[in-house]
A and B are shown apart, each in its own frame.
Chain A
Amino acid sequence: MATPVKVYGPPMSTAVSRVLACLLEKDVNFQLIPVDMSKGEHKKPDYLKIQPFGQVPSFQDESISLFESRAICRYVLEKYANQGNKRLYSTNPLEKASIEQWVEAEGQSFNPPSSALVFQLAFAPRMKLKQDMGVIKQSEEKLNKVLDVYEQRLGESRFLAGDEFTLADLSHLPNTQYLVSVTDKGEMFTKRKNVGRWWSEISGRDSWKKVVDLQKPQPPKSA
């Protein structure tokens, strides 16, 4: 059996969960290595050697050390192309271009406002930080405009890049999960017919349910 790959970071991190979703879709065995961010472990010299920006996740297998969740996903999809879900990515140039276009749309248009909302509404209260109502309002407005585009697109196409669930859809799972399950902004997704249908389908996948499970507080391990 292949040595499990290593993923560093807490599963509740949106970027970490993006990588976990990808590994589970591809049936790649992994070891999740905790990084105690409350103790600043991610800013210590040992961690900065593998991730110089002091962020999670980082990733190691027997031949390479990587960071940035979308780069890690692309590597996993290429290396394990022949196992697990083979339709998550494509080597066909036109299909690949469409997938990459929507991965970029996620990174450039969807992620900034949605992750700002996730931080303000899901994490700031837990961390006892004051919420910024201006940021919340601005982010909601931006995200609404993005979701209007998605509503139109998902009326033309079952998934963002075409007929198959791909990395482009997977990339959206982490932030949307928080917004739908622990904030009052879930309606932004569920009130839109096509976006709602799409969210239901992609979040219902077994791999994503496993990630959500991993995000729950784990019972303490017995000695």
Chain B
Amino acid sequence: MAVLKLHGTPFSTAAMRALAALYEKELDFELVPVDMKAGQHKSEAFLALNPFGQVPAMEDGDLKLFESRAITGYIAHEYASKGTQLVSPDPKKMAILSVWMEVEAHQFDPHAGKLCFEHVFKKMFGMTTDPAVVEELEGKLGKVMDVYEARLTVSKYMSGDCFGLADLHHLPALHYLQGTSSKKLFDSRPHVCAWVADITARPAWGKVIALHKS
């Protein structure tokens, strides 16, 4: 029986974020499905794992954790010696990594997440994409991408020379948006485009996407 369990659905961007970290660290874990259509994420049993009723939630032995970025941070530090190095033991490098993780959470994700909802999740729920909302969100995300283009011109990855959590946290939204008309936001900026191509090609990420087919 696996000690590490991730509760969620592999289609949720937040769950995919945690799954990416688990695969990068080459950890043994069990993905425990949560049937969101049936409202399982609002059941008493699930609320005991995440009182906000959101996926994912993680169990590692007795430790219970929610919030995907807290889960990835825990995994990256606790299993530092396994798989890909996702954080840095150097305090200054860790501080820079922390800056760009916050950027993903507060500058990128608010717009990218809503764009994913308009393009992808609305369709899954039988609703129609609102083109005016898409245009507004693309405008906002475009400004963020301008900063990213400047950053990635001087830095191979978000926080420096190596792939880390700051890059990983972007993968789910990037994956979904690459399949929509909004991909032009990335394609039109050469350094962003190269970075997206690089990080989405990682084998660990391929394993997350493979879950969509099973």
Contact = CB atoms under 8 A, between A and B. Distances in A.
A93 B69 CA distance: 15
A66 B102 CA distance: 11
B65 A67 contact: no
Nearest to B77: A93
Interface in B66-109: 66-67, 69-70, 73-74, 77-78, 91-92, 94-96, 98-99, 101-103, 105-107
A97 B74 contact: yes
B63 interface: yes
Contacts of A153: 51
Nearest to A68: B102
A interface residue count range (under 10 / 10 to 19 / 20 to 34 / 35 or more): 20 to 34
Interface in A23-76: 52-53, 63-64, 66-68, 70-71, 74-75
A140 interface: no
A52 B150 contact: yes
B102 A70 contact: yes
Nearest to B74: A97
Contacts of A98: 65
B70 A68 contact: no
Interface stretch (A102-110, A118-126, A175-183): A102-110
A171 to B, nearest CB: 12
A43 to B, nearest CB: 12
A32 B197 CA distance: 41
B102 A71 contact: yes
B99 A149 contact: no
B101 A149 contact: no
B52 interface: yes
Contacts of B5: none
A68 B159 CA distance: 14
A109 B52 contact: yes
Pick the 6 closest A-B CB pairs, nearest first.
A68-B102, A104-B67, A71-B98, A101-B70, A75-B95, A100-B70
17 contacts: A53-B107, A63-B92, A64-B92, A66-B96, A68-B102, A74-B98, A78-B91, A93-B77, A93-B78, A96-B77, A97-B65, A97-B74, A101-B70, A104-B105, A107-B106, A109-B52, A112-B110
